Amino acid sequence: MKREKIMAPKGVSEYLPPRSASFEWVREKLINPAKLAGYQLMELPVFEDTQLFSRGVGESTDVVSKEMYTFEDRGGRSITLRPEGTAGVMRAVIEHSLDRGQLPVKVYYSGAFFRAERPQAGRYRQFYQVGVESIGIDDPAIDAEIIALADNAFKSIGLKRYRLEITSLGDQASRAAHRSDLVQFLAGLDLDDATRARAEINPLRIFDDKREEIKALMVGAPLLIDYLTPESKANFDQVRTYLDALKISYVINPRMVRGLDYYTGTTFEFVHEDLGAQSGIGGGGRYDGLMHTLGGSDLSGIGFGLGVDRVLLAAEAEGVLALSEFVSDLYLIPLGESSKQAALLLAQELRGDGFQVEIAFGDRALKGAMKAADKSGSAYAIVLGDTEVSSGVVELKRMSDGQVSSVKMSELKSALSERKQ
């Protein structure tokens, strides 16, 4: 019987050693600024009621209309694998009445998200995102803090070749005024059917078209940023003032388009230069009506999502990963059955004191075991044979230069911590 090799589903990202260490490091760095600012973890289900996304993210978006993993569970409920994080957070806030408590609600999340797209560089069907949300208070200073959190995260990783683009989508009135002018403008253009169809769904989309001829046509298009109501404009100006004070550089991109329908007001995107077509490493913005749409109170919120996979790619492209490979403190090489037991005991004891200790299992030849010790990146190695077990004295070998010193097993702990400095 021939057995088919089972492979991972198409387009998922996986991280194995040694790269998984970099992935883990990047993810930690991305979320750390939020923790320092008092944001707390929200661990949510990866699948939700399909309606959460169709109502929250918007039926007209590509994400909802053609990229969701939707299925029926055994109880006949329509379930969807989360394509983004904000909707789930809002659902949880409403469901558990967090909006009745102290505001703003400040949370962060980290996990896998799913979108049934054609895989590409930096675009996966299962991908990882960390995000933060600040819900309940509409204050431009929060907008600035949120943007600063993301910017700090990228800086702490050491990224330099990225830029921050911001704009304001304004309030309801601003968008309505702009939309009618834009629709009129688009009607006067000579567009192909597919493009016109996209314009039907969301006229802003055309700003994002990458074809030169379309870009040229759009040069004279009315810009939403010129239609901001006085309040919206003042709000946006205030955000910019704060960003300037924080010395966070940005470019205003009035043509920026976001793919999730719930965004309003301040909207931003971080774009990396070395990433190819999928260059967005993070983005977010304010969402005024979302909570209300989902059946909660009418509170404003703002947040971002950062793509861990893409940031890792960017960090690799910039060469900023401090590739500190797995380094353990001690590598034990037992020779023979009795010393194997001694090695297990010794390792257990030292690990209890916080040392990283590995053992060469499988009765390997000494040469091979030493080789393994070398590869493991251990600082020290000890050969444990009958002699050592009975005498209680071991030869502690420093792997960097091969220097050996005799140490009593009972004093190993202090010897190791002394040398660790």
Interface of this chain with RNA, residues 167 to 206, rule: CB under 7 A: 198, 205
Cα–Cα separations (whole angstroms), residue 151 to 34, 277, 282, 331, 333: 11, 21, 10, 40, 47
Question: What is the H or E stretch that residue 30 is in?
Answer: helix 19-36
Distance CA 49, CA 232 (A): 34
Residue number with CB closer to RNA (101 or 326): 326
Question: What is the H or E stretch that residue 69 is in?
Answer: strand 69-72
Residue number with CB closer to RNA (140 or 305): 305
Instruction: Check if the beta carbon of residue 196 is closer than 8 Å to that of residue 188.
Output: no
The answer to whether 260 contacts RNA (rule: CB under 7 A) is yes
Question: What is the H or E stretch that residue 251 is in?
Answer: strand 251-252
Instruction: Check if the beta carbon of residue 284 is closer than 8 Å to that of residue 84.
Output: no
Site for RNA in 129-168 (CB under 7 A): 129
Distance CA 43, CA 29 (A): 18
Give me the least distance between CB of 309 and RNA, in Å please. 5
Task: Count CB neighbours of 222 within 10 A.
Answer: 17
Residue number with CB closer to RNA (101 or 392): 392
Give me the least distance between CB of 231 and RNA, in Å please. 26
> Of 170, 161, 109, nearest to 270 (Cα)?
161
Please pick, from the candidates 23, 39, 53, 124, the single residue that binds RNA as defined by CB under 7 A: 124
Distance CA 280, CA 147 (A): 15
Residue number with CB closer to RNA (36 or 277): 277
Supply the DSSP symbol for 377.
T
Please pick, from the candidates 278, 293, 328, 356, the single residue that binds RNA as defined by CB under 7 A: 278
Give me the least distance between CB of 373 and RNA, in Å please. 7
The contact mask relative to RNA for 357-396 (x = CB under 7 A, - = no) is: -------xxxxx-xxxxxx-----x-x-xxxx------x-
Give me the least distance between CB of 245 and RNA, in Å please. 25
Task: Count CB neighbours of 367 within 10 A.
Answer: 8
Please pick, from the candidates 28, 49, 62, 411, the single residue that binds RNA as defined by CB under 7 A: 62
Please pick, from the candidates 42, 253, 310, 315, the single residue that binds RNA as defined by CB under 7 A: 310
Give me the least distance between CB of 127 and RNA, in Å please. 3
Per DSSP, the residues of 253-295 read -TT---SSTT-EEEEEEEEETTSTT--EEEEEEE-SSHHHHTT
Place of tokens 């690799």: 316
Residue number with CB closer to RNA (118 or 247): 118
What is the C-alpha end-to-end distance of the chain, expressed in Å? 58
Distance CA 331, CA 333 (A): 7
Please pick, from the candidates 48, 209, 329, 358, the single residue that binds RNA as defined by CB under 7 A: 209
Site for RNA in 329-358 (CB under 7 A): 335
Distance CA 285, CA 269 (A): 9
The answer to whether 220 contacts RNA (rule: CB under 7 A) is no
Give me the least distance between CB of 171 and RNA, in Å please. 21
Site for RNA in 287-306 (CB under 7 A): 305-306
Please pick, from the candidates 104, 136, 283, 334, the single residue that binds RNA as defined by CB under 7 A: 283
The answer to whether 61 contacts RNA (rule: CB under 7 A) is yes
The answer to whether 221 contacts RNA (rule: CB under 7 A) is no
Give me the least distance between CB of 38 and RNA, in Å please. 23
**Dihedral over Cα of 331, 337, 339, 341: its sign:** positive
Distance CA 97, CA 125 (A): 32
Place of tokens 């403190």: 329
Please pick, from the candidates 136, 140, 307, 334, the single residue that binds RNA as defined by CB under 7 A: 307
Site for RNA in 75-104 (CB under 7 A): 84
Q: Which residue type is seen at 269?
A: E
Give me the least distance between CB of 264 and RNA, in Å please. 15
Read off φ and ψ for residue 335, nearest 5 degrees: -115, 110
Using CB under 7 A, which of the segments 7-15, 97-105, 135-143, 342-350 binds RNA? 7-15
Residue number with CB closer to RNA (123 or 178): 123
Give me the least distance between CB of 75 and RNA, in Å please. 27
Give me the least distance between CB of 269 and RNA, in Å please. 7
